[in-house]
Amino acid sequence: MFGVWGFLRQFMYTKFIIIVDEDVNLRDWKEVIWAITTRVDPTRDTLLVDHTPIDYLDFASPTAGLGSKMGLDATHKWPGETQREWGRPITMDPAVTRRIDALYEELALAAAGNAQK
């Protein structure tokens, strides 16, 4: 987390950081929320930093220029970070996905045809 905040000078003004693995699309908020809800243990994976430099325009802080930040580690856990075997998302075989999509189209067309009768 500190590496991200310190990577570029402007990142020091970032109040919240959520770290995810490469299998999560950063630009899809649903995927990010999914990673948070399935990969974060609040005690282990939350970092709170108090009395740290922040943006002077952040009026939520009690003192101008000083406030707090929060980081969430929504990544797969390495051995030693947890005692449990870490699960992997279940993915469907591409052939099965194509077949389901084709069936869905057939059923949707059939339903649309029945609705017109």
C-alpha to C-alpha distance for 31 and 23, rounded to whole angstroms: 9
* Residue 109 pLDDT: 67
| Contact present, 38 and 66 (Cβ < 8 Å) | no
CB proximity list for 23: less than 8 A, separation 6 or greater: 89
* Residue 13 pLDDT: 81
Sequence spans of domains, the chain: 2-85
The pTM assigned to this predicted structure is 0.69
* Residue 85 pLDDT: 78
Residues of the chain with pLDDT under 70: 109-117
The verdict on domain 2-85 having CATH code 3.30.379.10 is no
* Residue 96 pLDDT: 93
pLDDT digits (tens, 9 = 90+) for 88-104: 777 889 999 999 999 98
CB proximity list for 2: less than 8 A, separation 6 or greater: none
* Residue 108 pLDDT: 80
| Contact present, 53 and 38 (Cβ < 8 Å) | no
* Residue 18 pLDDT: 95
* Residue 42 pLDDT: 96
Q: Which two tokens stand for residue 71?
A: 């980081």
